[in-house]
Amino acid sequence: MMKKVLLSGGGTGGHIYPALSIAKAFRGRFPEAEIGYIGTKNGLESRIVPKAGGITFFDVEIQGFKRKLSLDNLKTVSKFIGAVRDCKEIIRRFEPDAVVGTGGYVSGPSLYAAARLGVPTLILEPDVLPGLTTRFLSRYVNVVAISLSGSEQYLSKAKRVLHTGNPRGTEVVRADGQAGRKSLGLEGSDKPIILFVGGSRGAKPLNDAVFQLLPRLAEAQRWHFVYVTGEVHYEEVIAKLNKEQYPNLTVKPFIYNMPDVLAATSLVVGRAGASTLAELTALGVPSILIPSPYVTNNHQEVNARWIEEQGAGRMILERDLTGDGLWSVISEMTEDDAGHEKMSQAARELGRPDAAEVIIDELVQLSRSKQ
């Protein structure tokens, strides 16, 4: 039986929420076990993780590397060395059976310190293109768990690569589509739903494209459209939109029960972040992905291109996005029922709804091998 696990990951929800999914699965398997979490004091994880309850939060000081030559990188090296020292002290005091990282630069010193101390280690890579932290750690940790099977080609130095899927999918697969419809005011309706969503803050290029195709939406009464503007764009959108002209359109600034809404959705138009892909593949929802060009290493384009290559969705680059072009792809995907079902099945085959349990099984084996 495992008694303690230490998690680490931060910076974005794409790193934090998979860690919390692992924590939930670990607690389900070992109710009496202790769970710790290493993060940064000012990072998003410092606000999200304590709210989850039952997790001891430790903070260390660390910053990420700049992608070009910079004096700041000298400070980063110094902070990394100090963070490794602090992480070793945390690990010695907490005495975990295993240490798990889910990405973000805070995972670097946490897992490196654990590996040096001989504690079993596993890092989860949520994107197709592994980040700098995962590439660095791959030669030190016991296992690199990949969310999407296209990542193996970038991890030639890893000791062991295991396709687990993204633990976020473990929770999403239990989503309630009827609850999702009810939250949208569509209880009792059987219209298929097309969802436009650009992330928590929205995406102006997507908003612009949706405005361009509004007349098309009004004509497509067999569908119900849900348009998530992002909170910063909502008031502007509502001011421009005469909602009475579009009875088959629901506009929201943000959706808090996204898994339930996705479970009721037939097609998603949105970004290609790791959490989004985990949710879509777990539920088998076809997608039109518009990768953000403003992310590190352009990793969303790599994600979206891989999804398209697997037949689970389509990709439109932001620079090519127009209302007419988007509507053409939507029409193509929705008018072919057999093609839509094939794409849904392809998406579902990419997901691993048991990801969290697979990771826990691996941690159990790692801890046993050390004993």
Regarding whether 300 and 241 lie in a shared domain, the answer is yes
* 119 pLDDT higher than 70: yes
User: Which residues span the domain enclosing 200?
Assistant: 174-350
Direct distance between the N- and C-terminal alpha carbons of the chain, in angstroms, rounded to an integer:
11
* 212 pLDDT higher than 90: yes
Mean pLDDT in residue range 114-118: 97
How far is Cα of residue 10 from the mean position of the Cα atoms in its chain?
A: 12
* 130 pLDDT higher than 90: yes
Give the annotated binding-site residues: 12-14, 200, 255, 300
Regarding whether 263 and 114 lie in a shared domain, the answer is no
Regarding whether 225 and 336 lie in a shared domain, the answer is yes
Residue 179, domain CATH? 3.40.50.2000
Rounded distance, CA 267 to CA 30, Å?
Answer: 38
Regarding whether 11 and 110 lie in a shared domain, the answer is yes
Residue 76 is predicted with a pLDDT of: 65
Q: Mind listing the pLDDT tens digit for each residue in 22-47?
A: 999 999 999 999 999 999 998 889 99
- The H-or-E segment that residue 183 falls in is helix 177-183
Regarding whether 151 and 48 lie in a shared domain, the answer is yes
Q: Mind listing the pLDDT tens digit for each residue in 294-308?
A: 888 899 999 999 999
* 312 pLDDT higher than 70: yes
Average pLDDT, the chain: 91
Residue 293 is predicted with a pLDDT of: 93
Residue 174 is predicted with a pLDDT of: 87
Q: Please give the DSSP secondary-structure letter assigned to residue 15.
A: H
Regarding whether 219 and 162 lie in a shared domain, the answer is no
Regarding whether 346 and 359 lie in a shared domain, the answer is no
CB atoms within 10 A of CB 284: 20
Regarding whether 68 and 143 lie in a shared domain, the answer is yes
> 65-97 burial string, b = 16+ CB within 10 Å, else e?
beeeeeeeeeebeebbeebbebbbebbeebebb
Regarding whether 217 and 194 lie in a shared domain, the answer is yes
Give the annotated binding-site residues for UDP-N-acetyl-alpha-D-glucosamine: 12-14, 200, 255, 300
Burial of 251 per CB tally in 10 Å (0-12, 13-18, 19+):
middle
Mean pLDDT in residue range 4-9: 97
Residue 1 is predicted with a pLDDT of: 81
Q: Mind listing the pLDDT tens digit for each residue in 233-282?
A: 899 888 888 777 889 999 999 998 999 999 999 999 999 998 899 999 99
Residue 16 is predicted with a pLDDT of: 92
Q: Is 0.95 surpassed by the pTM of this model? A: no
* 85 pLDDT higher than 80: yes
Confidence of residue 13 (pLDDT cuts 50, 70, 90): confident
The torsion region of residue 36 among left (phi > 0), alpha (psi -120 to 50) and beta comes to beta
Mean pLDDT in residue range 185-203: 88
β-bridge partners, 287: 268, 313
* 68 pLDDT higher than 70: no
Regarding whether 249 and 135 lie in a shared domain, the answer is no
Regarding whether 291 and 266 lie in a shared domain, the answer is yes
In contact, 123 and 139? CB cutoff 8 Å: no
Q: How many separate domains does the chain show? A: 2
